[in-house]
């Protein structure tokens, strides 16, 4: 897909950079800001303009606009004028659920490819910033066997820093029990909202599906972002390998040649099963590989938000 070209330099659009390059730009605040600015810039340049005009903070300059509200940083980046807008009314209440179980701390290429949790944290920070710029309110819940961090939904721009503070300190630990977090959110979201689950879905599928369907039954919109390290799709090219489960401590030694084809088929079947189980209930399901730019997941959110009006 040509739109997912990977710029080799930080001067390119950060939302289109591969995660290894992106991770070199700085901390979570700087990366999320640059990713979102690049993403918004891409929307303004796109022929599909329906969504870009809805951002609460930025829109294309029009003759007669107050010059005090021109965003000069965006002008320096794009050589185009954009005007800051100020939206007072909150349109939507959103909850970001971030899986911080031990399996999320894994990378198939340590030192080069960031972990699944790194990807989830930076994606959550970027999504939160976009939601807040649209005038929506955003909350956060991080979980493994239980909820370990919780931030109530609010809509102010300063609220983003509270979300960042919690995201920055998240570390991978424990097993995974997504349905616990999902059920708590269902109780706390008293009016119609949006729930975004960021997880590698190494969970009990039946209980998780039940909780997700319960959210839909309560009238909430749900987007599941299934984060996968590329090493989870294919076994390594070695004769023998030892597999270790970071959540249970179990180990298994196998001959890769004997199980490669069966493993690949099992992964495809597992992903298909998630999709078949979620989509008939109106739950959006997107597989996001952690070696791909954040823009793919941001576009999945974009499509979901467009339908919500």
| Helix, strand, or coil (residue 38) | helix
Q: How far is CA 43 from CA 2, 49, 52, 60, 302, in A?
A: 16, 7, 6, 11, 10
Q: Percentage of residues in the chain with pLDDT exceeding 90?
A: 49
Calculate helix-pair angle for 178-188, 205-217, nearest 10 degrees. 10
pTM of the shown model: 0.79
Average pLDDT taken over every residue of the chain: 82
Give the domain ranges of the chain.
2-84, 93-308
Residues near 205 by Cβ (< 8 Å), separated by ≥ 6? 273, 274, 277
Q: Which of 12, 26, 2, 28 is nearest to 169 (CA)?
A: 28
pLDDT at 7 over 80: no
Residue 185 pLDDT: 84
- Between 250 and 185, residue with greater pLDDT: 185
Read off the DSSP letter of residue 70.
B
- Between 257 and 134, residue with greater pLDDT: 134
Residue 8 pLDDT: 37
Summarised one tens digit per residue, pLDDT across range 194-221 is 999 999 999 999 999 999 999 998 889 9
Residue 72 pLDDT: 76
- Which of these ranges, 26-35, 180-189, 225-234, has the smallest mean pLDDT? 180-189
pLDDT category of residue 21 using cuts at 50, 70 and 90: very high
Q: Tokens representing 271?
A: 């992903």
Residue 218 pLDDT: 87
Per the CB < 8 A criterion, the answer to whether 13 and 42 are in contact is: yes
Per the CB < 8 A criterion, the answer to whether 132 and 96 are in contact is: no
3-state SS string over 74-110?
HHHHHCCCEEECCCCCCCCEEEEEEECCHHHHCCCCC
Given the DSSP bridges, would you call strands 93-99 and 137-143 parallel, antiparallel or unpaired? Answer: parallel
What CATH topology corresponds to 93-308?
A: Rossmann fold (3.40.50)
Summarised one tens digit per residue, pLDDT across range 50-101 is 443 344 556 677 776 667 667 777 777 777 777 765 544 447 899 999 999 9
Summarised one tens digit per residue, pLDDT across range 26-38 is 999 999 999 999 9
43 class by beta-carbon count within 10 Å (0-12 exposed, 13-18 middle, 19+ buried): buried
Residue 271 pLDDT: 95
* Buried b / exposed e along 292-307 (16+ C-beta atoms within 10 A): bbbbbbbbbbbebbee
DSSP string, 233-284: TS--SSSEEEEE-TTT--EEEEEHHHHHHHHHHHHHHHHHHHHHHHGGGT-E
Q: Tokens representing 175?
A: 């097993």
Other Cβ atoms less than 10 A from the Cβ of 123: the count is: 26
Residue 260 pLDDT: 66
């Amino acid at each position: 897909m040509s739109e997912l070209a990977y710029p080799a330099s930080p001067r390119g659009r950060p939302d289109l950079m591969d995660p290894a390059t992106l991770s070199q730009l700085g901390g979570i605040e700087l990366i999320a800001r640059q990713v979102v600015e690049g993403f918004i810039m891409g929307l303004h340049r796109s022929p599909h303009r329906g969504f870009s005009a809805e951002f609460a903070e930025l829109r294309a300059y029009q003759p007669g606009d107050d010059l005090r509200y021109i965003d000069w940083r965006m002008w320096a980046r794009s050589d185009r004028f954009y005007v800051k807008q100020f939206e007072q009314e909150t349109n939507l209440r959103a909850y970001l659920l971030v899986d911080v179980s031990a399996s999320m701390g894994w990378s198939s290429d340590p030192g080069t490819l960031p972990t699944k949790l790194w990807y989830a944290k930076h994606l959550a920070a970027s999504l939160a910033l976009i939601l807040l710029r649209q005038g929506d309110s955003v909350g956060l819940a991080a979980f493994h066997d239980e909820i370990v961090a919780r931030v109530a939904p609010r809509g102010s721009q300063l609220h983003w820093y509270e979300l960042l503070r919690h995201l920055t300190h998240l570390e991978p630990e424990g097993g995974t029990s997504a349905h616990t977090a999902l059920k708590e959110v269902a109780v706390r979201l008293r009016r119609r909202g949006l729930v975004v689950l960021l997880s590698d879905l190494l969970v009990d599928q039946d209980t998780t599906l039940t909780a997700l369907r319960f959210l839909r039954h309560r009238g909430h919109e749900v987007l599941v972002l299934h984060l996968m390290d590329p090493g989870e799709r294919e076994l390594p090219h070695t004769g023998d390998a030892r597999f270790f489960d970071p959540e249970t401590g179990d180990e298994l030694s196998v001959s890769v040649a004997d199980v490669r084809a069966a493993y690949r088929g099992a992964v495809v079947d597992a992903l298909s099963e998630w999709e078949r189980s979620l989509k008939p209930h109106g739950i959006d399901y997107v597989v996001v590989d952690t070696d791909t730019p954040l823009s793919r997941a941001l576009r999945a959110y974009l499509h979901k938000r467009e339908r919500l009006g």
